Amino acid sequence: MGTAIGTCFGYWLGVSSFIYFLAYLVNSQITMLQTLSLLGYGLFGHCVVLLVTYNFDFHALFYVLWLLLGGLSTLRMVAALLSRTVGQTPRLLLCGTLSVLHMLFLLYLHFTYHKIVEGLLDSLEGPNLAPMQRVARDVPDLIVNVTLRTR
């Protein structure tokens, strides 16, 4: 739990700072507080996607929600940045960077913590595997003879 919170707060503060720095370089009219707010509210879509896919372990559903909810929250942030940035190249650089980072972070969260959650559930409930049984095997006489002669 501690690493997940640290990862999310680190992403929020780190990417907000990076986007603010990039916005400063391309002369976009946005403050650090606005950047923090945009990215913080944009993470709500991530929370909904992760909550739904935690309860329903179906990867196709994750990808649909990733594109729909993750894409809509990213589109909202991009729209806010588009209105505050002048020029095609600065807009493309700033909004493209934000879009890629935001969408890839959701993929990172899903696949990183999905394995941890599966491991926790297996340790609490026990794996749903059939018990291992010993099976008698026939060993060919040739292999037995060769191993006996070498000793």
pLDDT in tens, 12-36: 999 999 999 999 999 999 999 999 9
* Residue 87 φ/ψ region, left for φ over 0, alpha for ψ in the -120 to 50 degree band, beta for the rest: left
**CB-based contacts of 14, cutoff 8 Å, min separation 6:** none
The tens digit of pLDDT for each residue in 83-93 reads 998 889 989 99
d(CA 143, CA 132): 26
Per the CB < 8 A criterion, the answer to whether 19 and 35 are in contact is yes
d(CA 100, CA 94): 10
Residue 151 or residue 20, greater confidence: 20
Q: Is the pTM for the entire model greater than 0.85?
A: no
